[in-house]
């Protein structure tokens, strides 16, 4: 089997001794059987070795676009909160994305009841608790601080994967992850004037974001076995649909309370999160995982926090301190370390 990975934990999956065991979900992973040019319903850009003749520049450009889209997600979310209440924003995001995944399920066999129940529980954990805690945290703290806290998801995923799957982390990959996270911390702290950003953030929001990171990391790890048995896109589609079902009553409640005030910014935020971050983002990510080595696709995700901090500076006027350049260099060094495959496969 080809390596499996996830956008938020891509590097974590590569670092684990057996990346084919660690699987994430939506926005998630995909498995491409060795020897097949494409997965069912998802045409490929090119093969890992480029033997299709198309080369790898197209998936690399698509991956760069995806990094920008996902990098802007937290600042855009923060921007949308100025016009939409948090529960409505996170709920309508998945309500808007669910129909596209429902289309994917047309003509496919219904999973057994036990599997559907497991997918529903996964949705409650990752798209319910995880996303609600995330949006509440983003509402209460700065986009820059939210970015660095959510950047701990790969670390938490590795910890949970090691605990559950008893896997070993390669030293140079672990070093790359640590160096990158230190760099992310420096870039985030440098956005404040005189005082570290961590000390000025609302503690409640930070706690929500950390709990969200734990829920999402658990969602990725616990979904591995289910995705192996049912197929990643099937699990992804059903978990998104269940997530929309769980979250939609919250949106209806806030609408009934008169808390939702439609605006161009609010509608644009919903469109960005639903169509670009969730639907288009997953489509590009699955293609990139097939066309490029998993470690390259995964390590590119370290650029997202840098983009998030820069976007926060541009949108909200957050000043960038002198540590930003140093932090950026460390992140790039971490990417280089995580991109090294090593001579031996664990």
Q: What is the pLDDT of residues 270-306, one digit of tens each?
A: 999 999 998 898 888 877 777 777 667 666 666 788 7
Give the whole-number percent of the chain exceeding pLDDT 90.
Answer: 26
In a domain, 208, yes or no: yes
In the 3-class helix/strand/coil scheme, how is the chain assigned residue by residue?
CCCCCCCCCHHHHHHECCCCCCCCCCCCCCCCCCCCCCECCECCCCCCCCCCCCCCHHHHHHHHHHHHHHHCHHHHHHHHCCCCCHHHHHHHHHHHHHHHHHHHHCCCCCCCHHHHHHHHHHHHHHHHHHHHHHHHHHHHCCHHHHHHHHCCHHHHHHHHHHHHHCCCECHHHHHHHHHHHHHHHHHHHCCCCCCCHHHHCCHHHHHHHHHHHHHHHHHHHHHHHHHHHHCHHHHHHHHHHHHHHHHHHHHHHHHHCCCCCCCHHHHHHHHHHHHHHHHHHHHHHHHHHHHCCHHHHHHHHHHHHHHHHHHHHHHHCCCCCCHHHHHHHHHHHHHHHHCCCCCCCC
The residue segments making up the domain with residue 125 are: 10-34+46-170+202-319
In a domain, 40, yes or no: no
Considering the entire predicted model, what is its pTM?
0.73
> Is 90 exceeded by the pLDDT of residue 194?
no
In a domain, 188, yes or no: no
125-157 core/surface letters (b: 16 or more CB in 10 A; e: else): bbbbbbbbbbbbbbbbbbbbbbbbbbbbbbbbb
The total of other beta-carbon atoms located within 10 Å of residue 245's CB is 16
Q: What is the pLDDT of residues 300-316, one digit of tens each?
A: 666 788 788 888 888 88
Of 37-46, 117-126, 230-239, the range with the lowest mean pLDDT is 37-46
In a domain, 332, yes or no: no
In a domain, 192, yes or no: no
In a domain, 41, yes or no: no
Q: What is the pLDDT of residues 212-230, one digit of tens each?
A: 988 988 888 887 778 778 8
Number of domains in the chain: 1
In a domain, 187, yes or no: no
> Is 50 exceeded by the pLDDT of residue 33?
no
In a domain, 91, yes or no: yes
């Amino acid at each position: 089997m080809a390596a499996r990975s996830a956008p938020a934990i891509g590097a974590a999956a590569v670092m684990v001794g057996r990346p084919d065991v660690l699987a994430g979900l939506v926005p998630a992973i995909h498995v491409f059987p060795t020897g097949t040019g494409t997965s069912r319903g998802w045409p490929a850009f090119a093969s890992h070795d480029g033997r299709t003749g198309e080369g790898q520049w197209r998936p690399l450009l698509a991956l760069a676009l995806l990094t920008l889209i996902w990098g802007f997600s937290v600042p855009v979310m923060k921007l949308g909160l100025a016009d939409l209440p948090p529960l409505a924003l996170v709920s309508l995001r998945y309500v808007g994305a669910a129909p596209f995944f429902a289309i994917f399920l047309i003509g496919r066999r219904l999973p057994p009841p036990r599997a559907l129940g497991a997918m529903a529980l996964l949705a409650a954990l990752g798209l319910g608790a995880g996303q609600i805690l995330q949006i509440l945290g983003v509402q209460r703290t700065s986009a820059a601080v939210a970015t660095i806290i959510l950047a701990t998801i790969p670390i938490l995923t590795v910890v949970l994967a090691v605990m559950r799957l008893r896997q070993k982390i390669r030293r140079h990959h672990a070093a790359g992850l640590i160096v990158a996270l230190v760099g992310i911390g420096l870039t985030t702290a440098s956005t404040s004037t005189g005082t570290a950003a961590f000390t000025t953030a609302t503690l409640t929001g930070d706690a929500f974001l950390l709990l969200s990171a734990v829920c999402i990391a658990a969602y990725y790890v616990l979904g591995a076995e289910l995705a192996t048995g049912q197929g990643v896109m099937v699990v992804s589609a059903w978990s998104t649909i269940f997530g929309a079902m769980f979250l939609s009553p919250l949106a209806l409640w806030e609408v009934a309370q008169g808390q939702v005030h439609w605006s161009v910014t609010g509608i644009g935020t919903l469109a960005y999160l639903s169509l670009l971050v969730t639907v288009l983002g997953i489509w590009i990510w699955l293609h990139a995982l097939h066309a490029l080595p998993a470690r390259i696709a995964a390590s590119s995700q370290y650029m997202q926090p840098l983009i998030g901090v820069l976007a926060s500076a541009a949108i909200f006027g957050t000043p960038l301190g002198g540590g930003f350049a140093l932090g950026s260099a460390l992140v790039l060094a971490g990417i280089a370390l995580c991109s090294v495959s090593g001579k031996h496969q664990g």
